[in-house]
Structure formats: structure tokens, C-alpha cells
Chains A and B, each alone.
Chain A
Amino acid sequence: MAIAENINKSNGGDDVMRTADGTPLKLSLQRAQRRQKQRTFFLVVPLLVFILFSFVFPILNMLTRSVEDPQVVSYMPNTLKALEDWDGESLPGEPVFEAMAQDFKIGRENKTIGRVGKRLNYEESGMRGLFNKTGRRIDKIETGPWKQAFLDIDKKWANVKTFTIIQRHDSAYSASYYIAALDLKQNEQNEIVRQDEERRIYVSLFLRTFGVSFLIAVLTLLLGFPIAYLMANLPLRYSNLLMILVLLPFWTSLLVRTTSWIVLLQSQGVINDVLVAMGLIDDENRVQMIFNMTGTIVAMTHILLPFMVLPLYSVMRTIPPSYMRAARSLGANQFVAFVRIYLPQTVPGISAGAILVFILAIGYYITPALVGGETGQLISNIIAYHMQRSLNWGLAGALGSILLLSVLVLFGLYSRFLGLRGLKFG
């Protein structure tokens, strides 16, 4: 009845389809869709808020910290102002030292001068001690001449380099943490040059991290492909058993899996004991398989294997067996059929698994820390060191930002050349 009426109305009146209450259908549909959208939005609000606080905010915080450099600007404003007219080559004159004496006295009272010293110590060892010592002594001196007073306290104040370093921090933001994170440094002429050879560490650690992650992605592919193939093609009762065997370690605590590798691989461990008992090696020459790079690679490959197997399996299950049979019946042998028909169809699974394993491996921390010894450490371990031990959060932020950026770049290249259309997990 109502519909009929409606049609009548719309036919008679203005050519617009209307609902029972007379509103145009288009409008009513829009409203309904908006309501639907709002409902969906409210459902994901908790997740959005969670991501904002646990992901977006910390990343922004990390990025800010990596460029923030507020200490000298905030706590030595007079000195910086006095240094504006300095030629940068000869030792500054009395006005600079007088301004500095002011800053030191205020900084000593507010206990902030130590922060400046600690910050500058990252650039030049000994600055921390120089600032603390000077702060203590200058406090007791009432009147100038200040230049002589500073020189009496420590002869490092006669060093032009000290002032170059102070002046370099005349902005609250600087790239100096990034310079350090790339094994570079600024010399006395403020040119960026390579860090002394025995102090270069971060670039090689980045390269090592990428290399190890790539190797682990390849290893998990080689090991995971046959497992996923069996799981996708065996009768259900066998494939279920295999699935459980894949998932069981996946559900086991990361620490348990890592430490069980220690039990197996250490020089007094199960594998070495068996090799010695079989007479393959002497007791004196046990194989060092852990607390080095080998340990890191073995343990991480094992731990990340499910992340390769599961995407592969989910793709392989959708490949109809009839394609292979068709290829065979058209004359291809087993190998050709596999390479030309089966393998190309698994590419979405391979690329999904590889990118997943690679990205997880790049940020891996606890496993290399436990089994990596000194040669199996990755970049995340040095980031943790600067967070927890050296308290150089700016450098940790810069290293983290570089890591984030390189992952994004690699991800962009990857999706451009290999495509991630088939990306699905589980």
C-alpha cells in the first residue's frame, strides 16, 4: 500500500523517489549511511585512541627528541649572545667570559649547568668535568677580570674549540644526534667529517642489522616453504598435526624459546655433548655456536618461522590442485609445472611472509641481547643501551628514527616492485 502510494506521489509530484514519510529516498539513504559510518567510527574509537597513545605519540616524541637540543640555548643565553660578534678563530675577549660567568652562577644556583656539561660531553669528552669544575669554582669568585679567572680554573678555556662547540648549539634544534648516529662529527671548522675510525660503530651496525634480517627472511622462506606446502596439501588429519607443531612454539614464551637455544647450543650444551660423545670433536675443541652471530641467526630464524609459514599456508590453500594436474596433462613435467604454475601463484604469500619476517627482524631486541654475545648484536641493542645506560635519549631517538625511515623506504620500494596486493595473514 505504502509503496504504491509512494510511487503515485513521486510520479505525480516532482519525479523524486520518496520514503513512506515523504522524505526523498536519496536523502534518507544518505542519513542511514552516515549513521552507519558514525557507528563504525565509534566502534573503532577505542582502538584509534590506543594507537594514538601507544604508537603515534611515542613516535612523534622520538622524532622530536632526536632533533631537540635545548640545553645551551636555555641555560647559557648570555654567553651565546656575547659570542654573536666572535670571529670564531681567536680566543674570545672579556665580555664573553663575563657573560659566561653570569650563566655559570645562575646555572650553579638552579643546578642546570651540569646538564649543559653533560650535553656537550657527547661532542667532546671532558666537557662535563670542565663545566662542573668551573661551576664550583666560579661561584666563589665575585669580581673580574673573568677571562683570567676562567683560565686559572682550567686551561681548556684557552682552547678555541671549547667555544666553537658552545656556539654550535645556538639553536634549540640541531642535527647533531643524526650526525653522531651516522658515524660523523663536526670538526673545529664546523665541517662534517667522518668519525675517528675506532669510534665508527652505528653505520656498520645498521648494515649488519639489514643483512641479518634479509638472511633470516631467506632462511625462513627456505625452511617454511616445504612445511606450508605440506600443510596445504596433506589430508586434514596430518595437516592439522603439522599446524599444531607450527603453532605450539608460536604460543610459547619468547624467552623460553630463546633460552632453550642456549641449553642446546652452548659449549657445555646438548649438541656439543653429543658431538663429543660421538667422537666427532674433542672435548677441548667444542664448537662455539652461541653468544655470537650464529646464535642470533639460529634463534631468530626459529622464532620468526611461523610468520613465514602462516601467510604462505593461507595463500597455498587457495591454489586449486587442478591447475597442477592441467599442467601435467598438457605435457609439463613435475618440475616445470611447479616452477611455472605453482610457484608464481605463491608469490603473494612469499612477499607477505618475507616483508613480515624482515621488518620484525630489524627491530628484534631481546633475542640478540641474550644469545648474540658481542658479535651478534643488532642496532636495537645499541638503542636500548643509549636509552637505559648512557641516558643519551637524543642519540637513541636519532638511531630509532633512522631505523624507522629506512624501514619505510624499504617497504615503499618493496610494495612498488613486488606488490602487496596479496598481503594477508593467517
Chain B
Amino acid sequence: MKTKNLANALAVAGFGVVLALGGSSLAKAEEFTAVSWGGAYSASQSNAYIKPYMQANSDVKINFEDYSGGLAEVRAQSEAGNVTWDLVDVIYTDAVTGCDEGLFLEIDFDDDLARGRDGSRPTQDFLPEALGNPCFIPQIAYSTVFGFRKDLVSPKSIADVFDLEKFPGKRGLQKVPTYNLEWALIADGVDKADVYDVLSTPAGVDRAFAKLDTIKDSVVWWEAGAQPPQLLADGEVVMASAYNGRLFAAIEEEKQPIEMLWDGQALDLDGWAIAAGSDHVDAVKKFVRFATDTQRLADQAKWISYGPLRKSSLPLVGKHADLGIDMAPHMPTKYADQGFWTGFDFWADNKDELSERFNAWLAQ
């Protein structure tokens, strides 16, 4: 009996050694973790970047995880000296903050990114707005834009959003100062190009809050991107600001009676940032080079209505993979002249103060 136990124990131990050896030989394959926003957006990235890359490079394994935005985890990992997220999909402002704090790695656009299909250097090929921060690896442009119930109202401009007499009903707005202050000024008659100049003055901020005051009682505030299409579909609001990709899904995939108001759309950027403490920087850079080339950026638009940031990708935007509709008319970059680019520097400097004021204003 005893000998049998011993034999068993030896067998188990031997098996363990074999496993450990096998494991170590497998570990030669490069493995890193990328995180993104989840839902339809992660799905589009998985289809356009992650799956093709892993197919072409069988020795690379990318763990693709979801997160809910913000830099809290990235900073916690960095402070603990245990960076497990090697590549993070971030909005531009988070890349700027992370860069200031040394959380993200600075890259050289021309060295680290692929040339355009036409051979142009990355610094020429990407939209100039997208290259403002050395930690931010540009991917797509999205916009926060108003959607409205076309069976109930027919606004033509941002001014109509603030006009409760012409179009009564509730409005859905995001519970942050960003864009709401800009729209308030535009509705109050400020030219889109001058919005941030006006907002940089105390009088401009007062003016924006005063205009927001006029609709405050009719606002439903949303926080998650999935909320505004739902609020519109339920009839809880007649118009709401929302991410253009979410509105596209509600209009084209779910056939809701919603229409987009491109006027006053606020263009923003989303891209990758490499964690400064990552152990797999080389592998991550290789992946990023692949995932931001001309074809791959154009491919993403097959699954989601966000616009590639390379000029050379724009002509390659084709049809939606499932719906078969032409995606080019749904790219927010196509309507850039009707809206404005987010004032990234303005918000990086003033977000703390304006958020406090906004929160105090909300709680009044």
C-alpha cells in the first residue's frame, strides 16, 4: 500500500515537472494584454486588428480585456510596480493626463508607426489634430452629436436644442461639463471657431452656465454611452447628445425613429497608449504598427461608424460587414466642418475647476 502511494506521488511529481518544462517552452511565445472599452467597440477592434494579427503571428498571444475608461487602474498598476495592462485604448484627454504623469510611453510617430499606403510619412498621413501628444497613438475619430426623435421634433441646429418653446420635451445630456458648455455658447450665438476663446474668460463661463440654466429643468443627465439611445428609444427624451457610433447602431441596426443632427458635433479622438512599465514594449509596438496601418484603420469602419485618422485610409472605407451599407457617409470626419474639434488643451487645464463648478451647479 505504502509503495503504491509513493509510486503515485512520484508519478504526479514527474508529471508536474513535464508540465513545468512544457510551460516554459510555451512561454517563449510573446503574450501581452490590451484593454479597451468593451461592447461593439472592442468587437470592431478584435475583428479588424487583434484576430488578423494573431493569425499572421502565431507566436503572439494578445489577451484582450474590457475596462470602463479612466486611468485609475493604470495608475494603480504603475504605483504598485506591477503593470499587467501593456496597451490601453484611451480617449485623447486620458492619454494627455497619463503622459503628464509618466504613466504612458512616448513614441516617435515616424519611427514607430507604419508609412501610409501611398508611402507618406505618418506625420503627413495622420490628421494633424491627431498628433498632438507623444503618448497618444491615433486610431479613430468619434463625435458627440445630437440625436433626435424624428417623429416628434425636427431641430436644425444646436440653437434649436436650447429652444424649449419651439421644441418642447426633455433633453438628454452627458453629466460632464465638456461639450455642454461649448454647445451653450454656440446656441447663444458664439461662432464655433471662437468657442474656446470665449470659454477661457470668466465672463464666457458665466454666459455658458446662464444658457444651460434655461434648459436645466428639462435635462435628463446620462453617464454611460448606452443610455442616450435608450432614452431616445423609450421616449424619455426627444433629443440627446450621444456618441455617433451608438446612434448609428440605434438607427441602422435597431431601426429606431432617430435622426442625427450633425450641426455642432464635437469631434474627439480615441487611440492606443503603451503603459510605461510594460515588460513587452517591443511586442506591443510591433502590434501597434500593424494595427494603425492604412488598411487596418479602414477595416475597423466595417464594424463601427468611427472614422479612421489616416488620410490614406479614408478612400478605403467600405461597406458595413453585416448590414452591407456604405460606411463613408457615416464617418463623423466627413461632417467635420459642421462641428468643432474638442479643445484638448483647454480641457486639460480647466477640467478640474469647471467640473467642480459644474457639479456644484448640478447640485443646486
Contact = CB atoms under 8 A, between A and B. Distances in A.
Interface of A: 111-112, 114-115, 117-118, 121-122, 125-129, 132, 198-201, 204-205, 266-268, 291, 373-375, 377, 382, 387-393
B193 interface: no
B348 A115 contact: no
Contacts of B234: 268
Contacts of A204: 363
A48 B75 CA distance: 28
A72 to B, nearest CB: 15
B263 interface: no
Interface of B: 70-72, 75, 97, 99-102, 106, 175, 209, 220-221, 234-236, 345, 348-357, 359-363
Given A198-B361, A204-B363, A205-B363, 6 more contacts: A115-B101, A129-B349, A199-B353, A200-B360, A268-B235, A374-B175
B74 to A, nearest CB: 9
Which residue, of A267, A268, A390, has the highest number of chain B Cβ atoms within 10 A?
A: A390
A71 to B, nearest CB: 10
A89 B357 CA distance: 30
A291 B220 contact: yes
The 6 closest A-B pairs by CB, nearest first: A114-B100, A129-B349, A374-B362, A125-B353, A201-B360, A388-B72
A201 B356 CA distance: 7
A129 B345 contact: yes
B106 A111 contact: yes
26 contacts: A111-B106, A112-B102, A114-B100, A114-B101, A118-B101, A122-B352, A125-B350, A126-B349, A126-B350, A128-B100, A128-B349, A129-B345, A198-B357, A199-B357, A201-B359, A268-B234, A373-B221, A374-B175, A377-B363, A388-B72, A389-B70, A391-B72, A391-B97, A391-B101, A392-B352, A393-B75
A387 B360 contact: no
Contacts of A205: 363
A268 B236 contact: yes
Nearest to A381: B359
Contacts of B349: 121, 125-129
Nearest to A377: B363
Contacts of A198: 209, 357, 360-361
Contact of A390 (B221, B350, B355, B361): B355
Nearest to A121: B352
Given A118-B97, A268-B234, A391-B97, A374 B352 contact: no
A12 to B, nearest CB: 54
Contacts of A112: 102
B250 to A, nearest CB: 17
